[in-house]
């Protein structure tokens, strides 16, 4: 099992280094098949020192909060989702750091070096850091990340179906309950568990 950007995973699929990839970016349809696993809304992750009180955080609050937006590297799916939204809103935010890993992103936020938009599945992978950050609803419109299972066209369909059952069970039994625990306001926007 390996982790990495969508491009890295698709390269490994193409070269038969791996058989399956769970990613947020659609591949070239001529090379790979996909199955949607689930879609998740982003949340705002800020250092504990950033307190906006009871009010909803606005884009203006983020622009002038005194800390930079931490972004994913340009080749990642997370970067493309974020840039698409910010471009559509014509929001220009200061950026000082780009990372290629959600765990590194959360560690930097916990150290007070910036803030970011994080996907709940990333939070679940790093529960030990959630006590050191503040998780808030992001300003509207909320970014959505779609997670998909990607595979080569010669993969056994029975094995694909087994993997889909395992992914569905993991979502229902582990991921969904943890996301609701960390970000209860997402209950209405997530697929039922």
Per-residue confidence (pLDDT) for residue 10, from 0 to 100: 86
Residue 126 and residue 107: Cα distance in Å, rounded?
Answer: 9
Nearest to 36 by CA among 120, 144, 117, 147: 147
Residue 167 and residue 81: Cα distance in Å, rounded?
Answer: 23
Residues 6+ apart with CB under 8 A from 182: 43, 120, 123, 124, 130, 135
Per-residue confidence (pLDDT) for residue 109, from 0 to 100: 95
pTM of the model: 0.78
Residue 42 and residue 78: Cα distance in Å, rounded?
Answer: 10
Per-residue confidence (pLDDT) for residue 87, from 0 to 100: 66
Residues 6+ apart with CB under 8 A from 9: 2, 18, 21, 23, 150
Per-residue confidence (pLDDT) for residue 39, from 0 to 100: 85
CA dist list (Å): 119 to 30, 101, 157, 188: 28, 12, 29, 16
DSSP 131: G
Name residues of the chain where pLDDT drops below 50.
none
Residue 152 and residue 84: Cα distance in Å, rounded?
Answer: 28
């Amino acid at each position: 099992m390996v982790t990495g950007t969508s491009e890295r995973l698709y390269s490994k699929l193409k070269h038969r280094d791996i058989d399956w990839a769970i990613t947020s970016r659609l591949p070239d349809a001529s090379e790979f098949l996909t199955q949607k696993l689930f879609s998740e809304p982003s949340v705002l992750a800020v250092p504990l020192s950033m307190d906006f009180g009871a009010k909803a955080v606005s884009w203006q609050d983020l622009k002038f909060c005194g800390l930079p937006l931490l972004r994913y590297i340009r080749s990642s799916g997370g970067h493309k989702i974020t840039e698409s939204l910010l471009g559509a809103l014509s929001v220009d935010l200061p950026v000082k750091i780009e990372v290629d890993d959600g765990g590194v992103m959360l560690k930097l936020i916990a150290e007070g070096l910036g803030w970011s938009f994080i996907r709940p599945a990333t939070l679940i992978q790093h529960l030990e850091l959630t006590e050191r950050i503040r998780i808030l609803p992001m300003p509207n419109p909320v970014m959505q990340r779609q997670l998909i299972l990607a595979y080569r066209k010669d993969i056994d369909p029975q094995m694909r179906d087994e993997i889909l059952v395992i992914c569905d069970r993991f979502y229902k039994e582990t991921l969904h309950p943890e996301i609701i625990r960390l970000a209860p306001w997402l209950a209405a926007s997530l697929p039922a568990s």
